[in-house]
Amino acid sequence: MWRKGSSEGSDRFEYLQTLVTEFQDTDSEEAKEQVLANLANFAYDPKNMEYLRTLQVTDLFLDMLTEENENFVEFGMGGLCNLSMDPECKDIILQSGGISLVTNCLSSRREETVLSAITTLMNLTTPSSRSEITDPAILQCMLRFSLSESPRLRNLATVFLQDCCSEEQVQIQSEAEKCWSVGQRGPAGQFTWKIREETIFPIKC
Amino acid sequence: VDGHVAVHPHRKYEVYKHHEQRKVCISRPKYREGRKAKAVKVYTINLESRYLMVQGVPAIGVMTELIQLCALYGVVEEYRPLDEYPAEDFTEVYLVKFQKLTSARAAKRHIDEKSFYGGVLHVCYVPEYETVEDTRLKLQDRRRYIMRAAQNKANEEPTTSNTAEKIISRHDQMPNNDDTGETSNISHYSSFPLLPLPPQEHYYHGYKNQYGTIPTEDKMGTLHNATICTKQQPVQSLSFSQTSSERERGTEHRLTPNQAPAVRFVPRTTHLENRKRKMEEAAEHSLTVSGKNEPLIGPKLPEPPKLDMDDESLNTTVSLIRNAMKQVEAVPDVKPVEKKMKPRRRI
């Protein structure tokens, strides 16, 4: 795909711009999915970060997180997972209120979407965003993932708990989790997780 | 190892969705068509892994060959057959753990869908075999790599508002990522392996030194010659330094006159010219030294074995016939042999 044009940066930029334009103009869901996947994969290469930022693809991906089409959500989340590795993109995502949008993806029933969301949250962790990202509701979620039967989910959630949270936070949360898992999901007024135990998240408390 | 696995042996080899080969997408418009037909799929670091699963290996005892093939792309730390993993009839499934993610990436790119002893291999990442530490390191490496890429860019490029300029300089200032172990992410889309460089001739080194720092045309008026010019890179202006990643992508070189391509192509005619010259020198040399007039062509062929026919008269006949044949051969071309042999050696 790269080789279609010359390797001139401007060509690359134009190509990406064409993709974004097609995404905006087309009415075909299928074409949108393809372009979205393309853009998300382009976000893997650090060379494209700046172009994608310029084209506001960060916002495009964030928009996808609230779509009904699950492919849109998965690809958009994948794109954010790739982009959020870049410090500048990270700032843009944080400024656009990305944390809550990404957090919502933790309850997706697609494992790939959940994994992208966890990695993105880790990438978004900064001294100032840490408190929001280690919110008790998210911790609770991660604790459950860390007991999941899926090794990938288990591993990634474990890394999150070990690297992004303090030990006390985890301790407190797992105590609380023990109480909650008996009855309901969480205390009234708190974020409620649409967790589907029967699919991938067994509760072993 | 894992308690859970021990308790549920039937779940040990779960077939995850990402193991499946997805259907390729056939509805892409021309401008979005890649070289290879591919499925609509998004790759993230979560999906990648230094653990690969190779399916479709013919069950004919070719494990060693498979691992040798894998080892072409990097150090293999561990491997084993996944006997319980559901496999097609007469095929086996293997788990291969590379030392580095980049090796696994290269191996996957090159081995997937290749035929192997009559079977077609399907290679996929199997991150579910990672340990927590594997996963952590994988993410850390990736973050570090992206960070470095961003820093390199920021250091070398004072912010300008001109997009076009930015784009170009940016492209040229890709980090030299040889050491990060992250080189091949760029090559997600490249589909063939790098060939080793052609062997260099001594004569050529002279040529290189002579012209090494001048990244311009050669005598033939072309930029294409096949010396690696890595050594001359520091001499050039920074903005035009080639990076390893670009070299890896091969076809993406921009051959503008004020820029030295990292890998140069030598036209075959130049090679031949050089070889001819060398040969002529060698021939002259041998002529003066040996004093004989026959050109030195190489190791002499072994003399025809002496036949022993177990009979005096038969032996005499054989030697007579041989002598006669030698004479017949020798007479017409005492001189032409010399001249004819030279062009032959050039090939």
The CATH number corresponding to B49-129 among 1.20.1250.20, 3.30.70.330, 3.90.1170.50, 3.10.129.10 equals 3.30.70.330
Contact between residue B170 and residue B153 where contact means Cβ atoms under 8 Å apart: yes
- Domain of A151 in residue numbering reads as 135-182
A124 and A168 together in one domain: no
Question: By CA distance, what is A6's nearest residue in B?
Answer: B252
Collect all residues of chain B within an 8 Å Cβ-Cβ radius of residue A75. 42
Q: B44, B151, B169, B184: which to substitute to probe chain A, counting the most A Cβ within 10 Å?
A: B44
Q: Does residue A20 sit at the B interface (CB-CB below 8 Å)?
A: no
Pick from A69-78, A137-146, B117-126, B326-335: least confident: B326-335
A114 and A143 together in one domain: no
Whether residue B132 and residue A82 make contact (CB cut-off 8 A), yes or no, is no
- A 164-193 residues with CB < 8 A to B: none
What per-residue confidence (pLDDT) applies to A6?
Answer: 46
Mean pLDDT of A18-36: 93
Collect all residues of chain B within an 8 Å Cβ-Cβ radius of residue A113. none
List Cβ neighbours of B33 (8 Å cut-off, separation of 6 or more). A1
What per-residue confidence (pLDDT) applies to B28?
Answer: 75
Q: Given the cut 0.85, state whether the ipTM is greater than it.
A: no
Question: Over 60: is that where the pLDDT of B6 sits?
Answer: no
Among the partner-chain residues A30, A54, A78, the one whose CB lies closest to the CB of B44 is: A78
Whether residue A78 and residue B43 make contact (CB cut-off 8 A), yes or no, is yes
Q: Is residue A1 a part of any domain in this protein?
A: no
- The 3 state secondary structure assigned to A121-159 is HHHHCCCCCHHHHCCHHHHHHHHHHCCCCCHHHHHHHHH
Q: A14, A21, A50, A204: which to substitute to probe chain B, counting the most B Cβ within 10 Å?
A: A50
Q: Is residue A192 a part of any domain in this protein?
A: no
Q: How far is A132 from chain B (nearest CA, A)?
A: 21
Question: By CA distance, what is A148's nearest residue in B?
Answer: B4
**pLDDT top residue among B5 and B108:** B108
pLDDT in tens, B208-250: 344 333 333 333 433 333 333 444 444 444 444 444 444 444 4
* Residue B73, burial from CB neighbour count under 10 angstroms (0-12, 13-18, 19+): buried
Q: Is residue A203 a part of any domain in this protein?
A: no
Contact between residue B268 and residue B258 where contact means Cβ atoms under 8 Å apart: no
pLDDT band at B54 (very low <50, low <70, confident <90, very high): very high
Whether residue A51 and residue B167 make contact (CB cut-off 8 A), yes or no, is yes
What per-residue confidence (pLDDT) applies to B261?
Answer: 42
Structure token digits, residue B217: 């045309």
Whether residue A12 and residue B167 make contact (CB cut-off 8 A), yes or no, is yes
A49 and A124 together in one domain: yes
Q: Is residue A59 a part of any domain in this protein?
A: yes
Query: How crowded is residue B295: how many other Cβ atoms within 10 Å of its Cβ?
Result: 17
A86 and A166 together in one domain: no
What per-residue confidence (pLDDT) applies to B323?
Answer: 86
Query: How crowded is residue A108: how many other Cβ atoms within 10 Å of its Cβ?
Result: 20
Contact between residue B341 and residue B283 where contact means Cβ atoms under 8 Å apart: no
Collect all residues of chain A within an 8 Å Cβ-Cβ radius of residue B166. 9, 50
A111 and A77 together in one domain: yes
Q: Which of A88, A115, A130 is the last residue of a domain?
A: A130
What per-residue confidence (pLDDT) applies to B177?
Answer: 39
Q: Which of A96, A130, A164 is the last residue of a domain?
A: A130
Collect all residues of chain B within an 8 Å Cβ-Cβ radius of residue A34. 25, 27-28, 32, 40
A77 and A147 together in one domain: no
Among the partner-chain residues A7, A30, A31, the one whose CB lies closest to the CB of B252 is: A7
Question: In chain B, what are the domain boundaries?
Answer: 49-129
Question: By CA distance, what is B142's nearest residue in A?
Answer: A85
**How many Cα atoms within 13 Å fall on the side-chain side of residue B45?**
31
Q: Is residue A151 a part of any domain in this protein?
A: yes
**pLDDT top residue among B309 and A80:** A80
Express as a percent the part of chain B with pLDDT over 90. Answer: 29
User: pTM of the predicted model, to two decimals?
Assistant: 0.60
Q: How far is A187 from chain B (nearest CA, A)?
A: 31
A14 and A101 together in one domain: yes
- Beta-bridge partners for B53: B95, B124
The dihedrals phi and psi of B96, each to the nearest 5 degrees, come to -125, 125
Distance CA B213, CA B122 (A): 46
Q: Does residue B31 sit at the A interface (CB-CB below 8 Å)?
A: yes
Q: Does residue B25 sit at the A interface (CB-CB below 8 Å)?
A: yes
- A 82-141 residues with CB < 8 A to B: 82, 85-88, 111-112, 115-116, 119, 122-123
Q: B30, B45, B46: which to substitute to probe chain A, counting the most A Cβ within 10 Å?
A: B46
Question: By CA distance, what is A7's nearest residue in B?
Answer: B252
Q: How far is B147 from chain A (nearest CA, A)?
A: 6
Q: Does residue B163 sit at the A interface (CB-CB below 8 Å)?
A: yes
**CATH number, residue A71:** 1.25.10.10
pLDDT in tens, B257-309: 444 444 455 556 666 677 777 777 776 665 554 444 555 555 555 555 666 76
Whether residue B46 and residue A81 make contact (CB cut-off 8 A), yes or no, is yes
Q: Is residue A188 a part of any domain in this protein?
A: no
Distance CA B290, CA B65 (A): 50
Q: What angle do CA B9, B18, B131 make, to 5 degrees?
A: 55
A96 and A139 together in one domain: no
List the one residue out of B154, B153, B61, B76 whose CA is nearest residue B111.
B76
Question: By CA distance, what is B163's nearest residue in A?
Answer: A10
Mean pLDDT of B120-138: 95
Question: Over 80: is that where the pLDDT of B119 sits?
Answer: yes
A112 and A139 together in one domain: no
What per-residue confidence (pLDDT) applies to A120?
Answer: 97
Domain count along chain A: 2
